[in-house]
Structure 1
Amino acid sequence: MQRTLRRLLPEASPISTRERLRAALGALTGILVTGMIGGLALRADASLPALIAPMGASAVLLFAVPSSPLAQPWSILCGNTVAALVGVTAALLINDLFVASAAAIGIAIALMMTFRCLHPPSGAIALTAVLGGPAIHELGYGFVLWPVAGNSLALLVLALIFNNLTGRPYPHAIKPPTTDHGTADPAPVQRIGFTSEDLDEVLKEYDEFLDIDRDDLETILRRTELRSYRRRAVHLDCASIMSRDVVAVAPDNSLKEAHDLMRAHHFKALPVTNDKAEVVGIVTQTDFLDKANWTKGRPRIGFGQRLRLVLSGKSAPSDTIKDIMTAPVRTVSPDTPVADAIVIFAEEGLHYLPVTRSNNKLVGILSQSDVLVAMLADGATQDADMRLSA
């Protein structure tokens, strides 16, 4: 019996109580305010509905699963509009309610999938246009503008405000692009395991609508793969392989001083520390190339970077490191597993990671080369152990 009940319950990812309350409060607010807006807008004509029932289903998507492709702005606006048009047309042309209902929902689904605006509550809107009774039928195609478009737009605006204020980016953001080196090589994280083309081919074979963004699905799979590599990686921490004799610069060091240091030591990055040895940023070759201009062999802050600094409210540029450094900077601690650093390098497109203690004081720096050497050394050790045990 228990096994049967478990089969009936859908498998779902764990959701915190905070997230449940956030979604419930969002739907409550969205429907309440949408209804109030409708009531105020229709004071002159009490015969029109201020709020229609399908908006409840839209609220579930917009506030409980705002990352779903079914909940995006194009889906709700286009999906509801298309469904309303189809439903009104079916009601006008077909006398039999059941036949009109079937035609409305079938054609609405086909059109929504064609226009990539599938929105499940839109099916209820198509049926409402057919089965809503004399009050809805008298509206004719006016039903499309109000209440459908009016309710949809109001609920969408509220979802935009509420979700973003409560930490859920909406519309759902496309994953940030991986670091582009301007070559044909894929990003490091895409060079292991499956390729994007592999995923596309599997989705074609699956040939079924999935309620998850395609890029989100790839990101989840790649992160799962990275976590698997991390679990099987070497049991080393960053302290065991990091460079300890670190050359750092201060925010007020001149660009020329920092560049001369990088050339003298053949470094491609320098941590930036304050007078307490706390890491406040990092300066790289890319920073020099992108944010500085070269005049008579000396790096200086260019006009574009000066303008960006002024507009951001920072202090006036003075051709110093603070004018071009990357801040804040991603760091790791000495006891961070090397396997975790591998994931950071791969996912965030970084080449160097300052190593800091809990008080943010610099104790070392880790490079991709350090990690590579450690992995090769560990692989050689494991091969030797296997030969000895054979």
Structure 2
Amino acid sequence: MRDRAIACVGALLAIALTGLISGSILGHGPHIPLIVAPMGASAVLLFAVPASPLARPWSIVGGNTLSAMAGVATARLISDPILAIGIGVSSAIAIMSLTRSLHPPGGAAALTALVGGPSVAASGFLFPFVPVCLNSLVLVGLGIAFHRLSGHRYPHARASGPGDATGAPRASPQATVGFREEDLDATLTSLHETLDIDRTDLDGLLREMEARTSLRAGEGVTCLAVMSREPVTIGLHEPTAHARRLLVAHDVRTIPVLDAAGRLAGVIGFRDLARHPNATRVGQAMSEASTADPAEAAASLAPRFIDGHTHAVVVVAPDRNVVGVVTSTDILAMRARASAPGRPAPARGT
């Protein structure tokens, strides 16, 4: 209800100001409308569903303007009013589809150009630009300003994926698990429907839902229940050669590093040793530790293990004392128990 109230306030201000600004430019005479009716429908999309592809700035400005132009052209070419209104609206849909500016109020803009009365007919091909394009530009500008002031994001921006070391875009680790892009495309194709949501937004929505469903599979299981207790640790000032021997001897990829007081200072693994080949002490090569509270849901740690860097999450008490370590193997074992309760879980790694 809060967002709906904000949408109402935004539409109130934007429509009133659009009429005021347009009137100050065009005047208040009967020769041309102050504001065209399709702006009301555009305001509904702009303020109530700003994330819709139909509410993009180009959709509002391009859709209304091009549709009005199609209506004026149809009125000039076809004298029969019944035939003209049908062809005018269908032409508007075709033009908006081709220019990727689909905007439902555009159909009303085309009709207004056809049946808007003597003042619209007298304006001719000026009508799509003044007042339709003018109204649309003012409305979009006011919408952008209002959404920013109210803390909403407009124009809607798609989430961009991370890039690789060369800067080229690549799929995120999250996008490589669960369903694939071709699965989404095949499903959308099989529906034989056009959905009012951007494909990228739909993909993100489904992946978020998939992640939350996965979390529920391990609901109630805490880090304390699945962690490896008494993990191998090493002191901050120990030689890096000793860290390498511990990693090999215990067949682990990450070791918590403790300071002089026995509190967590960081972690060290083979990746850290490779990045700092000249380091002689563990403190010179260690990296920041990923930590969790003992009471934290174990399933919530799963996203951390798909970043390509994290191999273990250190479970710590409030005073930074190490309580245990949760590895990706622990999470897999928990998932195996959840999916197959009658089977013995795999042995937990350290």
Same fold (TM over 0.5): yes
User: Judging changes above 3 Å, is the alpha-carbon distance between structure 1 residues 53 and 286 closer, same or farther for their aligned structure 2 residues?
Assistant: farther
Matched, 1:223 2:183: no
Q: How far apart, in 2, do the equivalents of 1:141 and 1:132 lie?
A: 13
Matched, 1:93 2:77: yes
Instruction: Provide, for residues 190-238 of structure 1, a one-character-per-residue CA deviation record: whole Å limited to 9, x for no partner.
Output: 4444211011122122232110111121222222223333323375212
* Aligned counterpart for 1:30 among listed residues 14, 22, 26: 14
- Gapped regions of structure 2 (runs ≥ 5): 248-252, 346-350
Q: In 1, are the aligned partners of 2:337 and 2:343 still within 8 Å (CA)?
A: no
User: What is the letter of the counterpart of residue 169 of structure 1?
Assistant: R
Q: How far apart, in 1, do the equivalents of 2:299 and 2:176 lie?
A: 17
User: Judging changes above 3 Å, is the alpha-carbon distance between structure 1 residues 227 and 147 closer, same or farther for their aligned structure 2 residues?
Assistant: same
| Overall identity of the aligned pairs, in % | 37
Matched, 1:64 2:48: yes
Structure-1 residue corresponding to 2:297: 337
Instruction: Provide, for residues 322-344 of structure 1, a one-character-per-residue CA deviation record: whole Å limited to 9, x for no partner.
Output: xxx99xx9865432222222256
* Aligned counterpart for 2:133 among listed residues 130, 149, 152: 149
Bigger CA radius of gyration: 2
* Aligned counterpart for 2:124 among listed residues 140, 148, 157: 140
1:106 CA drift (Å): 0.6
Q: How far apart, in 1, do the equivalents of 2:8 and 2:62 lie?
A: 25
Structure-2 residue corresponding to 1:208: 193
Q: How far apart, in 1, do the equivalents of 2:126 and 2:31 lie?
A: 13
Aligned pairs (5 A) from 1:98-177: 98-177=82-161
1:382 CA drift (Å): 3.6
Instruction: Provide, for residues 261-301 of structure 1, a one-character-per-residue CA deviation record: whole Å limited to 9, x for no partner.
Output: 99767667989x9x9x899x999999999xx9x9x958xxx
Greater Cα shift, 330-339 or 184-193: 184-193
Aligned pairs (5 A) from 1:193-342: 193-233=178-218, 235-242=220-227, 332-342=292-302
User: What is the letter of the counterpart of residue 224 of structure 2?
Assistant: A
Q: In 1, are the aligned partners of 2:337 and 2:344 still within 8 Å (CA)?
A: no
Q: How far apart, in 1, do the equivalents of 2:321 and 2:140 lie?
A: 47
1:384 CA drift (Å): 3.7
User: Judging changes above 3 Å, is the alpha-carbon distance between structure 1 residues 21 and 137 closer, same or farther for their aligned structure 2 residues?
Assistant: same
TM-score by length of 2: 0.74
Q: In 2, are the aligned partners of 1:241 and 1:366 still within 8 Å (CA)?
A: yes
Q: How far apart, in 2, do the equivalents of 1:154 and 1:287 lie?
A: 55
Q: How far apart, in 2, do the equivalents of 1:97 and 1:29 lie?
A: 36
- Gapped regions of structure 1 (runs ≥ 5): 1-16, 299-319, 386-390
User: What is the letter of the counterpart of residue 206 of structure 1?
Assistant: L
Instruction: Give aligned pairs, total.
Output: 328
What is the alpha-carbon root mean square deviation over aligned residues?
4.5
Structure-1 residue corresponding to 2:348: none
User: What is the letter of the counterpart of residue 85 of structure 2?
Assistant: S
User: Judging changes above 3 Å, is the alpha-carbon distance between structure 1 residues 193 and 49 closer, same or farther for their aligned structure 2 residues?
Assistant: same
Matched, 1:371 2:338: no
User: Judging changes above 3 Å, is the alpha-carbon distance between structure 1 residues 263 and 39 closer, same or farther for their aligned structure 2 residues?
Assistant: farther
